[in-house]
Chain A
Amino acid sequence: MSCFNRLFGRRRLFGELSEEIQAHLEEKIEELVADGMSRKEATAAARCAFGNVTLTEEDSRNVWRWPSVEDLLADVRYGLRALRHNPMFTAVAWLTIAIGIGANTAVFSVVNSVLLKPLNYPNAEQLVSLHQIAPGAPGLADFESGLHLSPSMYFTYAEHNRTFQALGVWDTGTASVTGLAEPEQVRTVEVSDGVLQALDVPPAVGRWLSEADQVPRGPQRVMLSYGYWQRRFGGDRSVVGRNITVDARPREVVGVMPKGFRLVDTDFDVMVPLAFDRRNLILAGFGFEGVARAKPGVTIAEANADLTRMLPIWMDSWTNGPGTNPHFYETWKITPMIRPLKREVIGNVSDVLWVVMGTIGLVMLVACANVTNLLLVRVEARQQELAVRAALGASWGRMVRGLLVESVMLGVMGGALGVAFAYAGVRLLLAIAPANLPRLSEISLDARTLGFTVLLAVLSGLLLGLIPALKYAGPRASLALRSGGRAASVSRERHRARSILVVGQVAMALVLLVSAGLMIRTFQALRTVDPGFTDAQHLQVMRISIPGALVVEPERVLRTQNEILEKLAATPGVKSAGFVSEMPMEGFDSDWDCIFAQDKNYPDNVMAPLYLYKYISPGFLQTAGTRLIAGREFTWSDVYGLRPVVMISENLAREMWGTPSAALGKQLREFPSMPWHEVIGVIEDVRERGVQDKVPEIVYWPPMMEYLFGNKAAQTLRTETFVVRSERAGTEAFLTEVRQAVWSVNSNLPLASVRTMQDVYDKSVARTSFTLVMLGIAGAMALVLGIIGIYGVISYTVSQRKREIGIRLALGAQSRNVQQMVLRQGARMALVGVAIGLGAALGLMGLMRGLLFGVTARDPMTFAAVAALLVSVSLLASYIPARRAMLVDPIVALRYE
């Protein structure tokens, strides 16, 4: 018989069974009657010989059933009925669990999409980032993002490696695209051969950039991103083969990458080949990120060893020019530290996400404790029923199962609603999009997340039911029959489970609130740090780039930039304007090199400490609000006159000459062929990489100088960040006027990265503010749930002890004493909870160390404040029931007898 028949033929089957049994009885009766019995006697005798008809039928039917499943269904039906009959309880419990599960599901979906899922490339586990460090390099001793690869390194690695299938280097940049609509600044990635091969994502249209496209001064070809292709070409496949004008140069589109493709962690519009000219390469030029696909089975250690082996080959094969020692990089102690590409993409966000996941998990526990408390109350009300069932022989297991089924149902219902909450939560998260959360676009509720939800729902359901089930349906359940009468005052034991739950809640709430408190303190500390610019919301910044094809001579470039500044300064509401190679926290890598001082001695005169350098225009300091500590700033006549002047940061001045004023008049240069530049000004330290990071030493060059790129001819930077100070910054009207001002100088100049410094600043502290918001929400939820827990337990106790309180009052107890008695109970639970929570927090806060700034993980003030808050809130929560206890009328309370 097929399963189908078994399930659906049952009714017929069971009908036949009854008929058969009836026929059996009839036959027997008739036989007995034939033997001379009366019909009545015969019926009795036949039934007697047959046994229990109903039981026989049930046993026979059970043969066809899955008894355990069907009993379970019966339990479920019973549980549903019980839940329906307590709508208030059900609503509160359901909602609490749903919020808990929803929050956990939402956060887990982020953790899953960002941290757990493999990257969006085929066999992504083989992909690595060619990270390396140079602990021996002086000055910039810690290359925060590691020592990047130079083009010569790339060629050496690509040609001599034994452990990689494909290997390439890449860099990000911007370019202007003209001739399509308005001039547009687009985000570019520049790739060497090997990058696309390593990532191995086939193009959506056309073909990859090939080795032939990497020939210097060869055919100019590009690829487009899917987004750019859709935006500018409406997804027209015939774009392949067309020319677009990138940086004033026509380039042929050879292909389009598919939707969602990112180069490691970078979104881009246009991909251009790097096309290194091998003949002109030197050892230096560490400006490129390396990405590679390891051969199957190659470990990170083997790949590192392979790179280490190739470093001497690199130094033997290339030079930094005549008279230099190629092996001097040995002193840098360059050490390959290859990392899985996923780690590179995720960056430091994994700390944050795990902390948030942990806190949300704690909130779930607090919520479960609350619902368990509710269940305990309910089960207590049903104690008589359970005791009677136990007395009638209901098995212990069956009763426990009944209670567990009910709580698991609550869990599953909560899970179902929770998924809806999670969906909304993820939408919300994507809407507030913490800008530096990687892989944001990949976040979704996938099968694994839903699996997690189901698991969480069932587990929390079991957890909820476990305590009530063990306590009341356990082997001693029959005791309740004896003590369950009204006459007995409530035993202390019956409250123990509930008090323990509340203590646990308080402890967990304390941990969560301390973590939120530490984040608040971190945020406060960040706020007090002087970032090196003032009044950020009134600083409008934008990137403007002047391509060589548009303006050829360097001096013309500077004049154009100068003219833009004048137009900007003349815009209504603008106080001043200036430009700089990059603003602090903008996220563009500054250049760095050896910096020599005339009055210092350096070994071999080739090796000097490495410092960051930037270029600033006259008027920039005043515009940005960056203070001049000593000396003066550049003037336009310094710049146009190519005077050898330089400014430095305060910490560099102190490091080299002790005080800022001592630095004035000293001489610096970058390499031996460059004339000495006189230090004319010292500038306050600037938080270049973000408020939380170390302040780097910086050298400030004028925006036009000789030997800028090694050769004597005066050069300028073609891409600068323009800064405008105005109260109108950020408004649409202002931006329109700013664009008009720029275009009145040259209508082919696109504006990119148009933001206020406040945006830039907020983005740089986004990790902290995101953590703060998440922990704040978690802490607030735990606090509210904790208050409800304490209030619930105290007021329930008071209602249970009404008679006892009545007797006390009748015997002459002062109502004030009664109130204190109740308050003491609340205080005791709060204090024990706080004590346990403090211990746990001391242990756990170490996990947050990486997220904190300007405050220790055991900040006594935060701990004390949170503890005080929790104790006072607990007292407040017990105060209301305590008042009620005080107002108990002994006559009314005792009349029940």
Chain B
Amino acid sequence: MKKTVQRDLFPGALEMMILQILRRQPSHGYALVHHIKRTSHDLLQIEEGSLYPALQRLLKAELVKAEWSISSTNRRVRIYKLTRAGAKHLEREVSSFERMLEGVTRVLAPGES
């Protein structure tokens, strides 16, 4: 299923994106996948299934919590919400990710070394 051009995400990236989406709005698994695909304009090809182990990890770390409810399309779904710890964690992760990204970008920038 892997395409040759596709890159694996680095560890933690998926979790970070999930937390970010949940910060704006609690959603269920399918909606999360949908959201990631749409907002990334299909640049990120993630296997839909890989979302679930990530969600379980976040649940276990108590960064999100889950509740069953009825979706707008009238199905029984499990809605994930960000916890306070999750919000804090996200903040830390994003800032460290930005630092890392900046560093990588600088090194990769042409003409400057």
Give residues in A with beta carbon < 8 Å to B. 1, 16-17, 20-21, 23-24, 26-28, 48-53, 55-57, 59-64
Q: With both chains docked as a complex, state the minimum distance between the C-beta of A14 and any C-beta of chain B, in angstroms.
A: 10
- Do A51 and B47 touch (CB < 8 A)? yes
From B49, B50, B77, B78, residue with most partner A Cβ within 10 Å: B49
- Do A48 and B30 touch (CB < 8 A)? no
Query: Do A59 and B53 form a contact, CB below 8 Å, given A49-B48, A64-B60?
Result: yes
Q: Which B-chain residue is minimally distant from A57 (CB atoms)?
A: B52
**Does B38 belong to the interface (CB within 8 Å)?**
no
Query: Considering the chains assembled together, what is the distance between the CA atoms of A52 and B53 in angstroms?
Result: 12
Contacts of B73 on A, CB cut-off 8 Å? 27
Contacts of B57 on A, CB cut-off 8 Å? 63
- Do A27 and B75 touch (CB < 8 A)? yes
- Do B78 and A16 touch (CB < 8 A)? yes
23 sampled A-B residue pairs with Cβ under 8 A: A1-B60, A1-B62, A16-B68, A20-B28, A20-B29, A23-B75, A23-B78, A24-B33, A27-B75, A49-B48, A51-B47, A52-B49, A55-B49, A56-B49, A56-B50, A56-B53, A57-B52, A60-B52, A60-B53, A61-B56, A62-B53, A63-B56, A63-B59
Q: With both chains docked as a complex, state the minimum distance between the C-beta of B3 and any C-beta of chain A, in angstroms.
A: 13
**Does B9 belong to the interface (CB within 8 Å)?**
no
Query: Considering the chains assembled together, what is the distance between the CA atoms of A557 and B59 in angstroms?
Result: 97
Query: Do A27 and B30 form a contact, CB below 8 Å, given A51-B48, A60-B52, A60-B53?
Result: yes
Interchain residue pairs A-B with the least CB separation, the first 5: A56-B49, A51-B49, A63-B56, A51-B47, A59-B53
Query: Considering the chains assembled together, what is the distance between the CA atoms of A474 and B56 in angstroms?
Result: 36
Q: With both chains docked as a complex, state the minimum distance between the C-beta of B1 and any C-beta of chain A, in angstroms.
A: 7
- Do A17 and B1 touch (CB < 8 A)? no
Within 8 A of A (CB), among B4-62: 28-30, 33, 47-50, 52-53, 55-57, 59-60, 62
**Does B106 belong to the interface (CB within 8 Å)?**
no
Query: Considering the chains assembled together, what is the distance between the CA atoms of A52 and B55 in angstroms?
Result: 17
**Cβ-neighbour of A53 out of B49, B56, B76, B78 (below 8 A):** B49
- Do A50 and B47 touch (CB < 8 A)? yes
Query: Do A24 and B53 form a contact, CB below 8 Å, given A50-B47, A50-B48?
Result: no
- Do B1 and A48 touch (CB < 8 A)? yes
**Cβ-neighbour of B52 out of A26, A48, A56 (below 8 A):** A56
Contacts of B1 on A, CB cut-off 8 Å? 48, 51
Q: With both chains docked as a complex, state the minimum distance between the C-beta of A424 and any C-beta of chain B, in angstroms.
A: 49
Contacts of A26 on B, CB cut-off 8 Å? 75
Contacts of A23 on B, CB cut-off 8 Å? 30, 75-78
Q: With both chains docked as a complex, state the minimum distance between the C-beta of B79 and any C-beta of chain A, in angstroms.
A: 11
Query: Considering the chains assembled together, what is the distance between the CA atoms of A20 and B48 in angstroms?
Result: 13
Q: Which B-chain residue is minimally distant from A20 (CB atoms)?
A: B78
- Do A60 and B56 touch (CB < 8 A)? yes
Contacts of B30 on A, CB cut-off 8 Å? 23-24, 27-28
Majority-rule SS of B interface residues:
helix
Within 8 A of A (CB), among B62-89: 62, 68, 73, 75-78
Q: With both chains docked as a complex, state the minimum distance between the C-beta of A650 and any C-beta of chain B, in angstroms.
A: 90
Q: Which A-chain residue is minimally distant from B77 (CB atoms)?
A: A23
| B: interface residue count bin | 20 to 34
In the complex, besides A20-B77, A27-B30, A50-B47, 13 extra interface pairs with C-beta distance below 8 angstroms are A1-B60, A17-B56, A24-B29, A27-B75, A49-B48, A50-B48, A51-B47, A51-B50, A55-B49, A60-B55, A62-B53, A63-B56, A64-B56
Query: Considering the chains assembled together, what is the distance between the CA atoms of A617 and B28 in angstroms?
Result: 109
Query: Do A63 and B29 form a contact, CB below 8 Å, given A16-B78, A20-B78, A23-B77?
Result: no
Contacts of B28 on A, CB cut-off 8 Å? 20
Contacts of B29 on A, CB cut-off 8 Å? 20-21, 24
Q: With both chains docked as a complex, state the minimum distance between the C-beta of B38 and any C-beta of chain A, in angstroms.
A: 13
Query: Considering the chains assembled together, what is the distance between the CA atoms of A26 and B76 in angstroms?
Result: 11
Contacts of B53 on A, CB cut-off 8 Å? 56, 59-60, 62-63
Q: With both chains docked as a complex, state the minimum distance between the C-beta of B21 and any C-beta of chain A, in angstroms.
A: 16
Contacts of A62 on B, CB cut-off 8 Å? 53
Q: With both chains docked as a complex, state the minimum distance between the C-beta of B35 and any C-beta of chain A, in angstroms.
A: 14
Contacts of A52 on B, CB cut-off 8 Å? 49
Query: Considering the chains assembled together, what is the distance between the CA atoms of A62 and B52 in angstroms?
Result: 11
Contacts of B33 on A, CB cut-off 8 Å? 24
Query: Considering the chains assembled together, what is the distance between the CA atoms of A51 and B33 in angstroms?
Result: 13
- Do B52 and A17 touch (CB < 8 A)? yes
Q: With both chains docked as a complex, state the minimum distance between the C-beta of B7 and any C-beta of chain A, in angstroms.
A: 17
Query: Considering the chains assembled together, what is the distance between the CA atoms of A51 and B2 in angstroms?
Result: 11
Query: Considering the chains assembled together, what is the distance between the CA atoms of A57 and B75 in angstroms?
Result: 21
Q: With both chains docked as a complex, state the minimum distance between the C-beta of A3 and any C-beta of chain B, in angstroms.
A: 12
Q: With both chains docked as a complex, state the minimum distance between the C-beta of B13 and any C-beta of chain A, in angstroms.
A: 17
Query: Considering the chains assembled together, what is the distance between the CA atoms of A28 and B29 in angstroms?
Result: 11
- Do B52 and A21 touch (CB < 8 A)? yes
Contacts of A51 on B, CB cut-off 8 Å? 1, 47-50
From B1, B28, B52, residue with most partner A Cβ within 10 Å: B52
Q: With both chains docked as a complex, state the minimum distance between the C-beta of B60 and any C-beta of chain A, in angstroms.
A: 6
Query: Considering the chains assembled together, what is the distance between the CA atoms of A55 and B52 in angstroms?
Result: 11
From B30, B33, B55, residue with most partner A Cβ within 10 Å: B30
Query: Considering the chains assembled together, what is the distance between the CA atoms of A355 and B94 in angstroms?
Result: 67
Q: Which A-chain residue is minimally distant from B37 (CB atoms)?
A: A49
Q: With both chains docked as a complex, state the minimum distance between the C-beta of A149 and any C-beta of chain B, in angstroms.
A: 72
Query: Do A20 and B49 form a contact, CB below 8 Å, given A27-B75, A28-B30, A48-B1?
Result: no
Q: With both chains docked as a complex, state the minimum distance between the C-beta of B105 and any C-beta of chain A, in angstroms.
A: 31
Contacts of B49 on A, CB cut-off 8 Å? 21, 50-53, 55-56
Query: Considering the chains assembled together, what is the distance between the CA atoms of A728 and B71 in angstroms?
Result: 105
Query: Considering the chains assembled together, what is the distance between the CA atoms of A53 and B48 in angstroms?
Result: 10
- Do A20 and B52 touch (CB < 8 A)? yes
Contacts of A64 on B, CB cut-off 8 Å? 56, 60
Q: Which B-chain residue is minimally distant from A64 (CB atoms)?
A: B60
Q: With both chains docked as a complex, state the minimum distance between the C-beta of B86 and any C-beta of chain A, in angstroms.
A: 15
Query: Considering the chains assembled together, what is the distance between the CA atoms of A16 and B57 in angstroms?
Result: 15
Q: Which B-chain residue is minimally distant from A16 (CB atoms)?
A: B78
Query: Considering the chains assembled together, what is the distance between the CA atoms of A64 and B61 in angstroms?
Result: 10
Q: Which A-chain residue is minimally distant from B32 (CB atoms)?
A: A24
Contacts of A21 on B, CB cut-off 8 Å? 29, 49, 52
Contacts of A48 on B, CB cut-off 8 Å? 1
Q: With both chains docked as a complex, state the minimum distance between the C-beta of A114 and any C-beta of chain B, in angstroms.
A: 52
Q: With both chains docked as a complex, state the minimum distance between the C-beta of B16 and any C-beta of chain A, in angstroms.
A: 17
Q: With both chains docked as a complex, state the minimum distance between the C-beta of A8 and any C-beta of chain B, in angstroms.
A: 16
Contacts of B56 on A, CB cut-off 8 Å? 17, 60-61, 63-64
From A21, A53, A55, A63, residue with most partner B Cβ within 10 Å: A63
Contacts of B76 on A, CB cut-off 8 Å? 23
Q: Which A-chain residue is minimally distant from B57 (CB atoms)?
A: A63
Q: With both chains docked as a complex, state the minimum distance between the C-beta of B42 and any C-beta of chain A, in angstroms.
A: 12
Contacts of B50 on A, CB cut-off 8 Å? 51, 56
Query: Considering the chains assembled together, what is the distance between the CA atoms of A838 and B73 in angstroms?
Result: 87
Contacts of B48 on A, CB cut-off 8 Å? 24, 28, 49-51
Query: Considering the chains assembled together, what is the distance between the CA atoms of A57 and B29 in angstroms?
Result: 14
Q: With both chains docked as a complex, state the minimum distance between the C-beta of A35 and any C-beta of chain B, in angstroms.
A: 13
Query: Considering the chains assembled together, what is the distance between the CA atoms of A55 and B53 in angstroms?
Result: 10
Query: Considering the chains assembled together, what is the distance between the CA atoms of A27 and B30 in angstroms?
Result: 8
Contacts of A28 on B, CB cut-off 8 Å? 30, 48
Q: Which A-chain residue is minimally distant from B52 (CB atoms)?
A: A60
Contacts of A49 on B, CB cut-off 8 Å? 47-48
Q: With both chains docked as a complex, state the minimum distance between the C-beta of B12 and any C-beta of chain A, in angstroms.
A: 14
Contacts of B68 on A, CB cut-off 8 Å? 16
Query: Considering the chains assembled together, what is the distance between the CA atoms of A51 and B59 in angstroms?
Result: 22
